Amino acid sequence: MSILSINPVNGAIIKNYQEDSEDLINQKIDLVHQAWLNYKETDFDSRARLLTEVSKLLTERKDQLAELMALEMGKPLKAGVAEVLKCASVCEYYAKNGAEFLADQTIKTSASKSYVSFQPIGVVLAIMPWNFPFWQVFRFLAPALMAGNCGVLKHSSGVTGCAIEIEKIIEDAGFPSNVFKTLICSSNAISKVIENPYIKAVTLTGSTEAGKKVAGQAGNLIKKTVLELGGSDPYVVLEDADLEKAAKICAEARLINNGQSCIAAKRFIVVKSVEEQFTRLFKAEMENKKTGDPLQDDTDLGPMARAELRDELHQQVLKSIGQGAKCILGGEIPDMEGAHAYYQPTILTDVKKGILAYDEEIFGPVAAIIIAKDTKDAIRMANDTNFGLGAAVFTENAALAEDIARNKLAAGSCFVNEGVKSDPALPFGGINQSGYGRELGMFGIHEFVNIKTVYIK
């Protein structure tokens, strides 16, 4: 069997990879486990030095890696460079803070000494998507390696080249051999990987359906999972918002990675009194983005990752229009010579409950504008979803904004007057159908450790 890497710009095959056999997959996992038996004995200082070297290599290779992303999944070069530098920053973050996060914590009891120790658990399986082919991996990998764990990666097949480069960077940084390996395989092989006794936990970023399958199997085997799944993030625009600023931020948040992001803004819930003005400003911002060749420096939006994803998106748009939504921008497959998987920024208005764009996640450059009567109604609509990854609110009333973000919006991350984004220092994850567990920050590094009680009489 083979794994194909296909350029979404023109449909050309970039490379044909030989799929790992079941025996080879098991050999790789065995090698990583054997490496872990020694690696877990290393100290924090040595792990931090190695992570710092990874950060340096990522920074040095940012242009090469950005070009690889552009070829494999259509990310524009400037966005690819930013992604690689973010990976470098998360390595630096855990190199600097990991030892403190994992330091023993003394607990006063009747013992002469009692404390909590954070011990590595072994080999963690990461199942990762194509949309941020480096960042998704490093936000798991940096804390895992700092904690003394090792990892195997099942990356999305279309970005196999990126997966191989990550393994090479870890090797080139001087980490012990085999602390991290890439499995070149299809999703059909994952069940057997999870069954492998050396796999101690699983982290997955992907669809809710994929999360259910992986969590179900892992739970049956009593293996911990962290799931970062889909999202239908609401951005609430209140009547006293700075509308020009809100429109700009909302457009950028909808079109991040061409809209192919779990935390991209998807539903724009606008109080009726500012509906017309916000819609006009928002449309102007969306129209201003240049779609084109991701290898050109002035391109804002490249193609979608695969033609079938673009086609599915277009069907969602057509169905929403058929259900009563109005399309005021885009909504058509562009007529671009030689183009393979492009879709223009699109805005749907008159979106109401019962219309697909209100009820389901739309994974692409399509915005749904939903009108609320007032602030209370807007919050109700924002929370009227099965997801709960991120949310944002726009208002100049600081006290109201914080109250809404802290107490009213149901999501793992709530931002005020800013687009939702992940940060190495802040825990990241969702609730409800958006998953459970957290990545990043102190909470992320504690997900895959044995939180061990030590009691000395």
Active site residues: 228, 262
The 3-state DSSP class for residue 213 equals helix
Residues 6+ away with beta carbon under 8 Å from 378: 236, 237, 238, 269, 270, 271, 372
Which run of H or E residues covers position 317? helix 307-322
Residue 107 near residue 114 (C-beta atoms within 8 A): yes
E runs forming strands in 362-425? 366-372, 390-394, 413-416
Helices and strands: H and E segment counts in the chain:
15, 18
Cα 379 from Cα 139, distance rounded (Å): 31
* Rg over CA atoms, the chain: 23
Cα 159 from Cα 176, distance rounded (Å): 25
Residues 6+ away with beta carbon under 8 Å from 166: 134, 137, 138, 141, 153, 180, 182
- In this structure, the strands spanning 326-329 and 123-128 are unpaired
**Cβ neighbours, 10 Å, residue 120:** 23
Residues 6+ away with beta carbon under 8 Å from 218: 194, 201, 202, 224, 225
Cα 195 from Cα 202, distance rounded (Å): 11
149: phi then psi, degrees, rounded to nearest 5: -85, 170
- In this structure, the strands spanning 326-329 and 390-394 are unpaired
Cα 326 from Cα 357, distance rounded (Å): 11
Cα 70 from Cα 82, distance rounded (Å): 13
List C-alpha distances in Å: 146 to 98, 298, 340, 440.
6, 37, 41, 12
Give the CA count within 13 Å in the CB-facing half-sphere of 196. 26
